[in-house]
Chain A
């Protein structure tokens, strides 16, 4: 099925470890996004990529880096994980299509201990 695929679904890290969250979409969308969602809160934008080859900071970029590998893939990297980064991470994409809306992945639940 067409959509946004995120891996892994769950991850536990120790403080100071690094990891990369992967995201891929097969809808030929130009724009991709990374959000985080903390309990009882809305989604906050970490980074986004308006098109292949470009990335920009969102509301809460500190502690993260991103790479737009190609049109399909947009990865999020935590260089030195901190407990404050414990959250659910959602990747999304958008572009012309049936509607001008976001399509979200199913999320990665990350716990930093």
Chain B
């Protein structure tokens, strides 16, 4: 399983764009990159998933360079409610029993 490295914590202010970068040097050909968000006392929630280049949905954008050894989650105009832990995971989700390893994630704190 590809190991990921991401910052332990980040601070931001409301209205700013936040970019969280994750490195995954050992990513395999069939691996996708998936980001999850977790609020206290809740289970992680799927945010976005991508394989290469750029993916955008109503919540975030995911930028993946050509070598796929890193990825950046971009949260536009964050608000207080975006304060959470963000996990970057790498794995092949298309097969059965894709067991993902969660690191400690990035604690994002958004202030006024």
Contacts and interface: CB of A to CB of B under 8 A. Distances in A.
Interface of A: 4, 30-31, 33, 35, 40-45, 48-51, 54, 56, 58-59, 88, 90, 92, 94, 96, 99-107, 109
B97 to A, nearest CB: 3
Given A44-B102, A101-B34, A102-B44, 9 more contacts: A31-B98, A42-B102, A43-B44, A59-B101, A92-B43, A101-B49, A101-B93, A102-B36, A107-B41
B3 to A, nearest CB: 12
Contacts of B56: none
Given A35-B102, A106-B43, A30 B96 contact: yes
A31 B95 CA distance: 9
Contacts of A42: 87, 102-105
B100 interface: yes
B45 A48 contact: no
Interface residues of B, number: 23
| Interface-centre pick from A54, A94, A100 (highest chain B CB count, 10 A) | A100
Nearest to B41: A107
A31 B93 CA distance: 10
9 nearest A-B pairs in the assembled complex, by CB-CB distance: A50-B97, A104-B43, A100-B93, A50-B96, A101-B46, A42-B102, A43-B102, A42-B104, A90-B43
Interface in B28-83: 32, 34, 36, 41-46, 49
